[in-house]
Structure 1
């Protein structure tokens, strides 16, 4: 579900009541733990955490007018989704995350290539998400991105 919101605050304000508190908490955790250099923006109708053009002028290879995406957070129809490009492109990070999940959550991990789905907002392991968000610096993400995309 893409939003037409222009700001993160507007995005959250437009959410159903039961999602506002959870998305706000998730957003605050991301902002608190995200390494310096990433910026919060609305991207693709979701909350986005990107490498800005000022840091990476080439932008996103699929659409160079867009900044290089790293993390997106969205309230979808049946779940809350965290899209983490680092997990998709770094097998070591993915392996770490999948091994840590059972230590922090009683529910089964529900994920796609870069998407972690949370169907029950009360079971989001925010401590693990905070750690995941801080695991990759801007420079590490750019290096990983270029090694995967510019082979």
Structure 2
């Protein structure tokens, strides 16, 4: 489910009450731990965090007019989903997260390539997500992105 919200506040305010508290908590955890340089905004119909053009003028290779995406989260039909491109692009980070997850949750990890789905909102591992957010700086993400996603000339 994508949103037409113009900013994160509008997005959160549009949610059903039973999700709003968890989405606000997730946003606060991310903002508290977000490395300097990433910007918060809306992208792809969800709240997201990206590298602005002022830092990375090339933008996203799929659509250079967009800033370089990094993380996002959304209220979907059956879950709250958290997307982290660093996990998709960096196997060591992926392995760290998968290894740490059982220390923070008794639920089975429901994860795709970069997407974690949380069906029981009260069991979102907020502390673990906060720690994950700290692990990749803007400079680290740009270097990883360029080595993994841009075509070599």
TM-score normalised according to structure 2 size: 0.97
Q: CA deviation at 1:110?
A: 0.3
CA distance in 1, matches of 2:122, 2:60: 34
Give 5+ residue unaligned stretches, structure 2. Answer: none
Aligned to 1:83: 83
Q: CA deviation at 1:37?
A: 0.3
> Runs in 1 of length 4+ with deviation above 3 angstroms?
none
Q: The residue matched to 2:141 in structure 1 has which SS? A: helix
Aligned to 1:53: 53
CA distance in 2, matches of 1:77, 1:66: 26
Q: The residue matched to 1:32 in structure 2 has which SS? A: helix
Number of paired residues? 151
2:1 matches 1:29: no
CA distance in 1, matches of 2:20, 2:137: 28
CA distance in 2, matches of 1:103, 1:71: 23
Q: The residue matched to 2:63 in structure 1 has which SS? A: coil
Q: CA deviation at 1:91?
A: 0.1
Aligned counterparts, 1:68-147, within 5 A: 68-147=68-147
Q: The residue matched to 2:71 in structure 1 has which SS? A: strand
Q: The residue matched to 1:94 in structure 2 has which SS? A: helix
Q: CA deviation at 1:135?
A: 0.6
Q: CA deviation at 1:65?
A: 0.7
CA distance in 2, matches of 1:127, 1:48: 19
Aligned to 1:12: 12
